[in-house]
Amino acid sequence: MSFFQDEPVRSPAASGRFTAILFPAAVLLGLSLTRLYSYLLFHSVVELFTIAVAWSVFILAWNARRHLDNHYLLFVGIASAFVGVMDAVHTLAYKGMGVFPGDNADLPTQLWTAGRYVQSLSLLIAPLFLRRRVRSVPTFAVYSAAVALLLVAILGPRPWFPACYVEGAGLTPFKIASEYAVVLILLASAAWLRRCRAEFDPAVLTQLTAAILLMTAAELAFTLYADVYGLANMLGHLLRFLSFGLLYRAIIVTGLVRPYDLLFRNLARSEEALRAANEKLEATVAALKRSDERYRAMVANSTEGICRVEAGRPISTSLPVEEQVARLLGSAVVAECNDAYARMHGSAACEQVTGRRLADLRPGARERLAELLAAFVASGYRLAEAETCDRNPRGELRCLTASFTGVVENGCLVRAWGVEHDVTERKRAAMEREQLIAELQQALAEVKTLSGLVPICAHCKKIRDDGGYWTQVESYIQQRTHASFSHGICPECLRALYPDYRPEA
Whether residue 281 lies inside any domain: the answer is: no
Whether residue 103 lies inside any domain: the answer is: yes
Whether residue 418 lies inside any domain: the answer is: yes
**Three-state secondary structure call for residue 400:** strand
- Confirm if 405 and 414 have CB atoms less than 8 A apart: no
Is 281 a residue whose pLDDT tops 70? yes
The pLDDT assigned to 262 comes to 46
- Confirm if 420 and 304 have CB atoms less than 8 A apart: yes
Torsion of CA 86, 55, 214, 169, to 10 degrees: -20
- What is the number of other CB atoms lying within 10 angstroms of the CB of residue 437? 10
The pLDDT assigned to 5 comes to 39
Is 64 a residue whose pLDDT tops 90? no
Torsion of CA 251, 255, 257, 258, to 10 degrees: 100
Q: What is the CATH number of the domain that holds 58?
A: 1.20.1070
User: Alpha-carbon distance 466 to 184, whole Å?
Assistant: 129
- What is the number of other CB atoms lying within 10 angstroms of the CB of residue 159? 15
- Confirm if 324 and 406 have CB atoms less than 8 A apart: no
The pLDDT assigned to 117 comes to 94
The pLDDT assigned to 162 comes to 92
- 32 lies in which domain range? 17-263
- Confirm if 316 and 351 have CB atoms less than 8 A apart: no
- pLDDT band with cut points at 50, 70 and 90 for residue 181: very high
Residues 74 and 204 in one domain: yes
Residues 258 and 308 in one domain: no
β-pair partners for 316: 412
Residues 375 and 459 in one domain: no
Percent of the chain with pLDDT over 90: 18
Is 355 a residue whose pLDDT tops 60? yes
Is 329 a residue whose pLDDT tops 50? yes
Whether residue 447 lies inside any domain: the answer is: no
Residues 232 and 105 in one domain: yes
Residues 244 and 199 in one domain: yes
The pLDDT assigned to 451 comes to 58
Element (H, E) at 399: strand 397-409
Whether residue 288 lies inside any domain: the answer is: no
Whether residue 432 lies inside any domain: the answer is: no
Residues 423 and 458 in one domain: no
Vertex 78: Cα angle to 76 and 83 (nearest 5): 85
Mean pLDDT, rounded, for 171-191:
93
The pLDDT assigned to 114 comes to 93
The pLDDT assigned to 263 comes to 47
The pLDDT assigned to 253 comes to 67
Percent of the chain with pLDDT over 70: 86
pLDDT in tens, 363-375: 667 777 888 888 8
Is 256 a residue whose pLDDT tops 70? no
Residues 204 and 320 in one domain: no
Mean pLDDT, rounded, for 228-234:
86
User: Regarding beta strands 412-422 and 463-464, do their DSSP bridges make them parallel or antiparallel, or are they unpaired?
Assistant: unpaired
The pLDDT assigned to 16 comes to 54
Residues 248 and 378 in one domain: no
Whether residue 232 lies inside any domain: the answer is: yes
Number of domains in the chain: 3
Whether residue 6 lies inside any domain: the answer is: no
pLDDT in tens, 425-443: 787 787 788 888 887 877 6
- pLDDT band with cut points at 50, 70 and 90 for residue 381: confident
Residues 219 and 331 in one domain: no
Mean pLDDT of the chain: 81
Is 185 a residue whose pLDDT tops 90? yes
The pLDDT assigned to 269 comes to 61
Residues 494 and 409 in one domain: no
- Confirm if 172 and 163 have CB atoms less than 8 A apart: yes
User: Alpha-carbon distance 152 to 330, whole Å?
Assistant: 92
Residues 34 and 183 in one domain: yes
Own/partner pairs, 246-250, CB within 8 angstroms, 24+ separation? 246/207, 246/208, 246/210, 246/211, 246/214, 247/53, 247/57, 247/207, 247/208, 247/211, 248/53, 248/56, 249/207, 250/204, 250/207, 250/208, 250/211
User: Alpha-carbon distance 73 to 410, whole Å?
Assistant: 52
Is 319 a residue whose pLDDT tops 50? yes
Residues 57 and 147 in one domain: yes
Q: What is the CATH number of the domain that holds 350?
A: 3.30.450.20
User: Alpha-carbon distance 27 to 18, whole Å?
Assistant: 14
